[in-house]
Chains A and B, each alone.
Chain A
Amino acid sequence: MIVLKYQKCDEARFISHIDLLRHISRILLRAEIPVKRSNGFNPHALVFFSPPLALGVTSRAEYLTIDTDMPAGEVLARFNASTPKGLNAICAYGCEKNPNLQARVVAADYVYPYPYREIDFSGVVIEYQKKGEPVKEDVSAKIFSARDEGGMLCLRLATGGVNLRPDRLLATLDGIYGETGSVTDIVKTAQFASEDGKFVNIDDILS
């Protein structure tokens, strides 16, 4: 098993998660990385993703698990020679078994296009449309922390099974800052699993 850490930026920000699955399988075919296939009635390549990224958001920390016997270095080089702009891999980790990041990831860091300041998120309510119906949700429990990242506001948000889409928090922040931010200026910088009640960076788990 190889886990590739890759970024999703530039034009690739606008590839939806469903389309991304198709893109990845094509990159792997072009790169001639031999991927093991499932044995079922409809055999498919054994590749696994970290939780989906909201459309339009840039990420510097997406993960792709590939079931292959090829060495990590070669997978990395081949992948990068066959990937479109904005979907290139940063590093590759070898691992014994599928780390199942889809299920294990519980949080992610997002840098917003706003300078850092202390904000009280208790009782924050967001509004959005769900299946055409307006929804109001108190998301304070899904905002784990806020910190200063190079002068900018960085929030650690619930990601995965319990999820807070970073773009849905924009309107709240716009209200606080009195400006209009764009989804395309949000950057995801890291993903985390929970171990003994603490957040552990996925990179530290894999290396």
Chain B
Amino acid sequence: MADFVSEFEKLLPEVEKPGRYSGGEWNTPDMSSPARGDMCFCFPDLYEIGMSNLGVQILYDIINRAEGFRAERCFAPALDMAKKLREHGIPLLSIETKKPVKDFTVVGVSIGFELLYTNVLYMMDLAGITFRAKDRKEEDAIVIAGGPCSVNPEPFAPFFDAIVCGEGEDADLELLRRVAEGREKGLTRAQILNSIADIEGVYVPSLKREGYRVKKAVVKDFENAPYISKPLVPTVESVHDRATLELYRGCASGCRFCQAGFWYRPIRERSAKRCAELAKDMLKSTGFGELSLCSLSTSDYTGLEALEDELSPYCRERGITMALPSLRISSFKPDMAKDSRKSSLTFAPEAGTQRLRDVINKNVSEAEIDKISVAFEAGYDSIKLYFMMGLPTETDEDIAGIAEICRRLKRLYMEKRPKRGLNISVSCAVFIPKPCTPFQWEEQISFEEMKRRQFYLRGLLREIKGVSFSWHGAETSVLEAALARGDRRLSYVIEDAYRAGACFDGWSEHFKWDVWQAAFEGRGLTMQMFTRARDLDEELPWDFIDVGVDKKYLAKERELAYRGVTTKNCREGCNGCGALKMGRCTIL
């Protein structure tokens, strides 16, 4: 094995933010003892983004705690570094020991977003890993994927030897153990893949036949599930540069567009006592000045008050701020954010009218939106609102409703604080029908219609003083929708797009719409073939994954959506979605 370390270090002063590649982060585990098997977690985006990913840190921690096994990390290098690596013939190296990524026992790619698919190939290319699993040689690393995109792995399945569908806490280490054992015993690659195929959540694309089923991996005992007590402290400021504590997994709200809300069922809460212990451990071991209490809907967490009571004095003494992302409007109380600086609040009504909010089951009423005025009283004078456009059944009236909400908030603000001005920032994404949601059969509105509605809303919001408007690009939204509900044919499109220069597609400055259009056309496909409406009885590419939630339940929810009937929050009683068979919903 060639030693690239000294050569690599010489490149560091020549690239932007060399701390992205240097390693040496505080809390890096000792890597000096030999390991039976090692895994390199590859995150297909920059260091700053990847270091904020909770999943990777949890899995990294689990493997490094296991006797005889080791995990390292690698992030997608920025383009300047990639150019240098190519010029000097240096393959992609892990951060910790600077070992070539392709020499690891297992290479694990975390995929959290459809627009990262080309970056997966970008990393494989730089690492010297053969793109397609079927072309890999006996001795090549076993390359696996995981992360939220495993909900529909088909578009990228041919690139991987195995894919962990669901939560990796138990599966990843077991998989690494079996691969290492297989190598020790001298098993063939095919035998090794056979040996991991029965691990819960593991999907081996080469074994997929008629009737093949994969059961999503779920952490059963969430209360005692391992959590990072010593998170790595990033060298370069990361996007979420703080201690993050996951309060619970899953969500009780049942918003019909939300993939995470269905995918992470059953709901599993961690007790306030354990959360407080974990939070203090993390803060002590990192020195972070901010703690984020995170989940899909933090104000729904049963133990929130108890946890805040426990942590507030601890944080106050040390000058640590506490952040509560993902609050529901209805649960906002002024004292919730009493210790944080009053800068800006973010809420997500998602739709402009009550009718449409009922359709998507976003249980936020007009009266509740009015409650934002409590925040005005508490001293906030800047509000960020998130909406979606292109939701099923949406009309121009619903879009006009977004402007109406802004007007109403301005009026409410003037009543409370007539001498100042309210800043409203409206951010409007385009609805993307995602697998594993009641809207998985829906059509995405056309490109032209997106543009028209965005233009219409922009015109309405321009008339209101103090409102700024930002929106998601129509192009990336169409592509994301096509990739999200795609099948294996798209692996060729992704590969063609990558070879034609598509990379970092999630970064607007790098996104190449023409390249993608040509890549689809080149394979005789169009994006519209994947963004179209699906029949209820149509076989969907992700149907072979048992996610717990029944397909029938999703169809029923869809029907309720069209009738404008809401479904109650799971905390008020079980709605019978089917996820129970994966483990009990533990709402404390």
Contacts of A10 in B (CB 8 A): 24
Contacts of B21 in A (CB 8 A): 14
Report whether B287 and A14 are in contact in the complex, using a CB–CB cutoff of 8 Å: no
- Asked if B23 is at the interface of the complex by the 8 Å CB criterion, the answer is yes
Tell me the complex Cα distance, A182–B285, Å: 35
| Total interface residues in chain A, CB < 8 Å | 33
Residue of A nearest to B20 (CB): A14
Contact residues of A between 73 and 110, Cβ < 8 Å to B: 82-86
Report whether A28 and B19 are in contact in the complex, using a CB–CB cutoff of 8 Å: no
- Asked if B26 is at the interface of the complex by the 8 Å CB criterion, the answer is yes
Contact residues of B between 234 and 293, Cβ < 8 Å to A: 235-237, 241, 283-289
Q: A19-B236, A30-B286, A182-B13 are in contact. Are A14 and B19 (CB under 8 A)?
A: yes
The winner among B235, B283, B285, B318 for most chain A CB atoms within 10 A is B235
Report whether B289 and A26 are in contact in the complex, using a CB–CB cutoff of 8 Å: yes
Contacts of A182 in B (CB 8 A): 10, 13
Contacts of B286 in A (CB 8 A): 26, 30
Report whether B24 and A167 are in contact in the complex, using a CB–CB cutoff of 8 Å: no
Residue of B nearest to A30 (CB): B287
Contacts of B23 in A (CB 8 A): 11
Q: A167-B13, A184-B9 are in contact. Are A14 and B285 (CB under 8 A)?
A: no
- Asked if B566 is at the interface of the complex by the 8 Å CB criterion, the answer is no
Report whether A56 and B13 are in contact in the complex, using a CB–CB cutoff of 8 Å: yes
Tell me the complex Cα distance, A86–B26, Å: 11
Q: A16-B17, A26-B26 are in contact. Are A11 and B319 (CB under 8 A)?
A: no
Report whether A14 and B10 are in contact in the complex, using a CB–CB cutoff of 8 Å: no
**CB proximity of A34 to chain B, nearest CB, Å:** 10
Report whether B319 and A183 are in contact in the complex, using a CB–CB cutoff of 8 Å: no
- Asked if B18 is at the interface of the complex by the 8 Å CB criterion, the answer is yes
Report whether A184 and B12 are in contact in the complex, using a CB–CB cutoff of 8 Å: yes
Report whether B289 and A11 are in contact in the complex, using a CB–CB cutoff of 8 Å: no
Report whether A14 and B289 are in contact in the complex, using a CB–CB cutoff of 8 Å: no
Contacts of A16 in B (CB 8 A): 17, 19, 236
Query: Which of B9, B10, B13, B289 is close to A29, meaning CB atoms less than 8 Å apart?
Result: B289
Q: A14-B235, A19-B237, A26-B287 are in contact. Are A86 and B13 (CB under 8 A)?
A: no
Residue of B nearest to A43 (CB): B319
- Asked if B543 is at the interface of the complex by the 8 Å CB criterion, the answer is no
Report whether B18 and A14 are in contact in the complex, using a CB–CB cutoff of 8 Å: yes
Residue of B nearest to A42 (CB): B341
**CB proximity of A45 to chain B, nearest CB, Å:** 7
- Asked if B111 is at the interface of the complex by the 8 Å CB criterion, the answer is no
**CB proximity of B190 to chain A, nearest CB, Å:** 41
Contacts of A45 in B (CB 8 A): 319
Report whether B24 and A12 are in contact in the complex, using a CB–CB cutoff of 8 Å: yes
Query: Which of B12, B18, B288 is close to A26, meaning CB atoms less than 8 Å apart?
Result: B288
- Asked if A64 is at the interface of the complex by the 8 Å CB criterion, the answer is no
The winner among B22, B287, B341 for most chain A CB atoms within 10 A is B287
Tell me the complex Cα distance, A190–B38, Å: 42
Residue of A nearest to B285 (CB): A30
Report whether B241 and A14 are in contact in the complex, using a CB–CB cutoff of 8 Å: no
Tell me the complex Cα distance, A55–B17, Å: 9
Q: A22-B241, A26-B26, A183-B13 are in contact. Are A15 and B287 (CB under 8 A)?
A: no
Tell me the complex Cα distance, A23–B318, Å: 16
**CB proximity of A40 to chain B, nearest CB, Å:** 12
Report whether B287 and A86 are in contact in the complex, using a CB–CB cutoff of 8 Å: no
Report whether A19 and B19 are in contact in the complex, using a CB–CB cutoff of 8 Å: yes
Report whether B319 and A37 are in contact in the complex, using a CB–CB cutoff of 8 Å: yes
Tell me the complex Cα distance, A13–B9, Å: 11
Report whether B288 and A11 are in contact in the complex, using a CB–CB cutoff of 8 Å: no
- Asked if A173 is at the interface of the complex by the 8 Å CB criterion, the answer is no
Query: Which of A15, A56, A183 is close to B235, meaning CB atoms less than 8 Å apart?
Result: A15
Contact residues of A between 1 and 51, Cβ < 8 Å to B: 10-16, 18-19, 22-23, 25-31, 37, 42-43, 45
Report whether A84 and B24 are in contact in the complex, using a CB–CB cutoff of 8 Å: yes
Tell me the complex Cα distance, A31–B320, Å: 15
Q: A26-B289, A37-B319 are in contact. Are A85 and B24 (CB under 8 A)?
A: yes
**CB proximity of A168 to chain B, nearest CB, Å:** 12
Tell me the complex Cα distance, A167–B13, Å: 10
Contact residues of B between 160 and 187, Cβ < 8 Å to A: none
- Asked if B546 is at the interface of the complex by the 8 Å CB criterion, the answer is no
Report whether B287 and A25 are in contact in the complex, using a CB–CB cutoff of 8 Å: yes
Contacts of B233 in A (CB 8 A): 23, 26, 84
- Asked if B394 is at the interface of the complex by the 8 Å CB criterion, the answer is no
Tell me the complex Cα distance, A22–B21, Å: 18
- Asked if B140 is at the interface of the complex by the 8 Å CB criterion, the answer is no
Residue of B nearest to A82 (CB): B287
- Asked if B404 is at the interface of the complex by the 8 Å CB criterion, the answer is no
Contact residues of A between 49 and 76, Cβ < 8 Å to B: 55-56
Tell me the complex Cα distance, A11–B20, Å: 11
Contacts of A56 in B (CB 8 A): 12-13, 18
**CB proximity of B234 to chain A, nearest CB, Å:** 9
**CB proximity of A110 to chain B, nearest CB, Å:** 15
Interface string of B21-41 (1 = CB under 8 A from A): 111111000000000000000
Report whether B287 and A184 are in contact in the complex, using a CB–CB cutoff of 8 Å: no
Residue of B nearest to A35 (CB): B319
**CB proximity of A94 to chain B, nearest CB, Å:** 24
Apart from A56-B13, A56-B18, A184-B13, what are 4 other A-B pairs with CB-CB below 8 Å? A15-B235, A16-B236, A23-B235, A27-B26
Selected A-B contacts with CB under 8 Å, 13 pairs: A10-B24, A14-B19, A15-B235, A16-B19, A19-B237, A22-B237, A45-B319, A56-B12, A56-B18, A83-B26, A84-B24, A85-B24, A183-B13
Q: Interface of A with B (CB < 8 Å)?
A: 10-16, 18-19, 22-23, 25-31, 37, 42-43, 45, 55-56, 82-86, 167, 182-184
Q: Interface of B with A (CB < 8 Å)?
A: 9-10, 12-13, 17-19, 21-26, 233, 235-237, 241, 283-289, 318-320, 341
